[in-house]
Amino acid sequence: MKIIVCAKQVPDTNEVKIDPVKGTLIRDGVPSILNPDDANALEAALQIKDANPDTKVSIISMGPPQAHYMLRECLAMGADEAFLINGRVFSGADTCATSTTIAGGIQAIGDYDIIFAGRQAIDGDTAQVGPQIAQRLGLPVVTYVQGIREIKDGSIVVERQMEDGYEVIEVQTPCVLTCVKELNEPRYMSIKGILEAYDTPIKEFLTPEEIGLVADQCGLKASPTQVLRSFAPAPKGKGRMLEGTVVEMAKELVSSLQEKHIV
Amino acid sequence: MAIVINKEACKGCTKCVKVCPFDAITMVEKKAVIGAGCTSCGSCLDVCPFGAISKIEDRVGGVDISLYHDVWVFAEQREGKLMNVAIELLGEGRKLASQIGCRLCAIVCGSGISDLPAELIAYGADVVYVADAPELANYTTDAYTKTIYEAIDQYKPEICLLGATHIGRDLGPCLAVRCNTGLTADCTSLEIDPHTKGILQTRPAFGGNLMATIGCPNHRPQMSTVRPGVMEKALRDESRTGEVIALKPSFAEGDIRQKVLEIVKNVTETVSLNDADVIVAGGAGLGAAEGFELLKKLASRLGGTIAASRAAVDSGWIDHAYQVGQTGTTVKPKLYIACGISGAIQHLAGMQRSGLIVAINKNEDAPIFEVADYGIVGDLYQVIPAMLEALG
């Protein structure tokens, strides 16, 4: 079986802080990580490989050269090969253009039975690129996959997470599945994997032509949406800190709420 | 748009480097260079003291936007019942439609849903497009995408709004690619540009650390998803009238490649954080799952419900359905009491629009106090019993 996993290197948004004076992001020391949902996507692929050792797992990513670190991490976890789409021409892409590029990269890699992606990346939280890749490739998609029940010949049975439960869905293969964190517990890199990862060359696609596209289909140029303005969220004014003993504070709070007819 | 640097004017002051939210500007030989991470957000334009940075139009493609009219709302239903978010979108859609001066339309898919058009009209739809077919009884990506794409292609709406539910976030991206247009996810505010009549979509990025306003000038429809609970519900008025247009979806062998075998509902009580007037939320400071019992006492005394931060959910103390924040539910109750929640930006993103916020935390430096109307530094296990006492 051939599996392709889409991965993204993201800033760890849990570590991002706002400069309280200037209202801008403090980026110093914010680590770049493998997007958490993508780690679940890779783990899903690796579990299939564990059960069927002749499975080949390929990773594809779009991003700057620094993404090599993330791709080596994926290799060290157990992926067989890694591809990076990298170049100024691809930059500034919104989800619509990104999906065109990644779909091009996937076609350049070739054969696949299942394409896994994370549900969403923590820097954008859009959850769009996975299903959009499926549309570009003409493949069926199931998003929010929280369980894989059975891999059959020509189809796969998965659980799709809903707000109030889940659905059991049988989907034809090849297909795209986007994964949520409830699907599995991503493995750690192995020592052997880390050693081997550094000997595995990362293949790069540097031009649109290498992935069957032209420059006008890539990056900012091909993005229907435009960021018109970005700004730090307006801080809500700080209110009043109550003082005194616990009983005094509780009484004051309750009477304030009662005065405002909230309770 | 692309950001360009005028090398002659750039003096290498690095102000733009510091302000760039995407770390996309570097200094090469004391001149700013725009790197691959640039999204053309424009943050650098205003800070340059030398006017050396500008935005240029270099997009390709697009459609004849004059062919597109009306605001559409995807009226999501499950088991024949409209989702609340559909009513919220009709409320918001009405505002947009009156600013543009166009009609507000709803599109609804399902099977045996003949009573829904009247309901959608009562909530403000001027036109309801109905696709009623057995294949549409349960949501599948392929069936809904095909049906709605064909309707968009035929009737050409200028704006399409979808709820950011697990269904809307599946359907929206697929439709956007079919229409080759842009989709802005999880918008928290929508406005119409008075000059261009185009939509201005504001959404949080970087886990709520940054807000971005996004437009879609040359492609149609302009598509947005909006999280449930963010917009005001439309008011119901049975006296409204509207037009109902039946769509005629047809499916050939192989058109629908997903098959729903089973729908499993969580047996736990359903959580409706969106509808609650009072929410008492607990975080890591609870220390144990049992802490929620105390919160429940306070919540029921105040006629509200309990909720949780991600830390409490990740600790396994409470189900994910109770989670408030970026990856949970967005809420805006009249009263939000945060107990033992430090106030990570992802949590704040989900609750800071609440009417009144009370924070109880042992750590006086906890960021939650920055958004609180009333702050109490103390042990919640002492403060909450004292509050219950004071409430009588």
ipTM of the complex: 0.90
Test the B interface: residue of A167, A185, A217, A251 with most B CBs within 10 Å:
A167
Q: What is the pLDDT of residue B353?
A: 83
Looking at domain A2-222, its CATH superfamily turns out to be HUPs (3.40.50.620)
| Cβ–Cβ gap B37/A221 under 8 Å | no
Comparing CB atoms, the residue among A25, A125, A141 nearest residue B141 is: A141
CA nearest to B226, candidates B355, B126, B96, B40: B96
Test the B interface: residue of A13, A90, A129, A205 with most B CBs within 10 Å:
A13
Chain B closest CA to A160's CA: distance in Å? 9
Segment A106-140, tens digit of pLDDT: 999 999 999 999 999 988 889 999 999 999 999 99
Instruction: Judge contact between B150 and B133, C-beta under 8 A.
Output: no
Q: What is the pLDDT of residue B45?
A: 85
Q: Is B259 helix (H, G, I), strand (E, B) or coil?
A: strand
- Give all domains of chain B, ordered by start, each with its CATH number: 2-56 (3.30.70.20), 65-247 (3.40.50.620), 273-391 (3.40.50.1220)
Residue A185 near chain B (CB below 8 Å): no
Segment A21-75, tens digit of pLDDT: 555 566 667 788 999 999 999 999 999 999 999 999 999 999 989 999 999 999 9
Instruction: Judge contact between B387 and A250, C-beta under 8 A.
Output: yes
Chain A closest CA to B250's CA: distance in Å? 18
Instruction: Judge contact between B109 and B248, C-beta under 8 A.
Output: no
Contacts of A132 (CB under 8 A, 6+ apart): A95, A96, A98, A99, B173, B174, B176, B177
pTM of the model: 0.82
pLDDT at B277 over 70: yes
Among the ranges given (A17-21, A231-235, B16-20), the one the predictor scored with the smallest mean pLDDT:
A17-21
| Cβ–Cβ gap B257/A172 under 8 Å | yes
Q: Where are the beta strands (DSSP E) in A180-216?
A: 203-205
Q: What is the pLDDT of residue B229?
A: 82
Chain B residue numbers touching A175 (CB-CB < 8 A):
257
pLDDT at B268 over 70: no
**Across all residues in chain B, what is the average pLDDT?**
92
Chain A closest CA to B315's CA: distance in Å? 14
Chain A residue numbers touching B180 (CB-CB < 8 A):
96, 224
**Across all residues in chain A, what is the average pLDDT?**
92
Segment B132-190, tens digit of pLDDT: 999 999 999 999 999 999 999 999 999 999 999 999 999 999 999 999 999 999 998 99
pLDDT at B13 over 80: yes
Contacts of B226 (CB under 8 A, 6+ apart): B85, B88, B89, B92, B161, B162, B163, B164, B186, B187, B188, B190
Q: What is the pLDDT of residue A20?
A: 58
Comparing CB atoms, the residue among B36, B142, B217 nearest residue A226 is: B217
**Cα–Cα distance between A113 and A190 in angstroms, integer?**
26
Chain A residue numbers touching B4 (CB-CB < 8 A):
none
DSSP state of B294: H
Instruction: Judge contact between B211 and B205, C-beta under 8 A.
Output: yes
Instruction: Judge contact between B279 and B273, C-beta under 8 A.
Output: yes
Token pair in block for residue B391: 């409430």
| Count of CB atoms situated within 10 Å of the CB of A212 | 12
Among the ranges given (A52-61, A133-142, A171-180, A214-223), the one the predictor scored with the smallest mean pLDDT:
A214-223
